[in-house]
Structure 1
Amino acid sequence: MAGGRMSALSLPIDGGASTEFKSFRARTPLFSVSAGRVLVTLTLPERLGASDVEFARRLAEQAAAYAVEVERLYRCGRRPSSGRSSARRSSGKGAAA
C-alpha cells in the first residue's frame, strides 16, 4: 500500500467463525468473513479492472496456502504461537487480510 496510514484488524478465529461468498447477476460478488461480533465484507467497484481480477486470484492463493498450513499444524498436533513471525512470509505483495 503506497503512503498514508494503514488500518489493521485481527480476527481471532474459532469454531464459530464463518466465511461466505455471494454471487449476483447484476452486480459484483461479495466475500465475507465473520468472527465473533465482527463481520468483514470485501466489495468491488461496479466496473472491474485487471487489478481486481489479480487481487481476487491472490486472495484465493493466500487462502489456499493458509488452509494448507492450518491443516499441517492440526495433523502435527502442534499448537501454533501468535503467528507474528511468519505472517509476512508470502510473496511480499501483502497477504489479504
Structure 2
Amino acid sequence: MGAGKGRMSALTLPVDAGATCEFKAFRARTPLFSIVAGRVLVTLTMPERLRAEDVEFARTLAEQAHRYAIEVERLYRSGGRVRSEQTGRAA
C-alpha cells in the first residue's frame, strides 16, 4: 500500500450484515463515499479543486473494490471457509 511520508494510521472495520456503503453526488461540490460498519462511519472526501491524481485515486478505489467483491464472491461460492496463511488450515 502506498502512503505519504511519516506515520500511517490503520483502521480495520469488521464487516457484517449490518454494514453499508453509499455514494452521494452533489451538483455544487465533490462527491462523498461512505462506509458504515458497526458504530464507525468512514467518509471519503475530495478537495473542491480536483486534480488528475484525484481521478486516479477514484479509479483505483473502484478497481480494488471490484477485485475485493470478486474474491468475496469466490470465497462464498467455495463454502465461505478461509484458510489461515500461517497454518494452512481453515480459520
TM-score computed with the length of structure 1 as normaliser: 0.81
Bigger relative CO (Cα 8 Å, ≥ 6 apart):
1
Aligned pairs for 1:6-85 (under 5 A) are 6-81=8-83
Q: Give the match's secondary structure for 1:21.
A: strand
Unaligned ranges ≥5, structure 2? 86-91
Using a 3 Å threshold, how does the CA distance of structure 1 residues 78 and 41 change in structure 2: closer, same or farther? same
Distance 1:9 1:81 in 2: 23
Unaligned ranges ≥5, structure 1? 84-97
Using a 3 Å threshold, how does the CA distance of structure 1 residues 17 and 82 change in structure 2: closer, same or farther? farther
Distance 1:54 1:81 in 2: 33
What one-letter code is carried by the residue in structure 2 that aligns with 1:74?
A: Y
Q: Percent identity?
A: 72
Distance 2:4 2:34 in 1: 25
Q: Per-residue CA shift, 1:14-38, capped at 9, x if unaligned?
A: 0000000000000000000000000
Using a 3 Å threshold, how does the CA distance of structure 1 residues 5 and 82 change in structure 2: closer, same or farther? farther
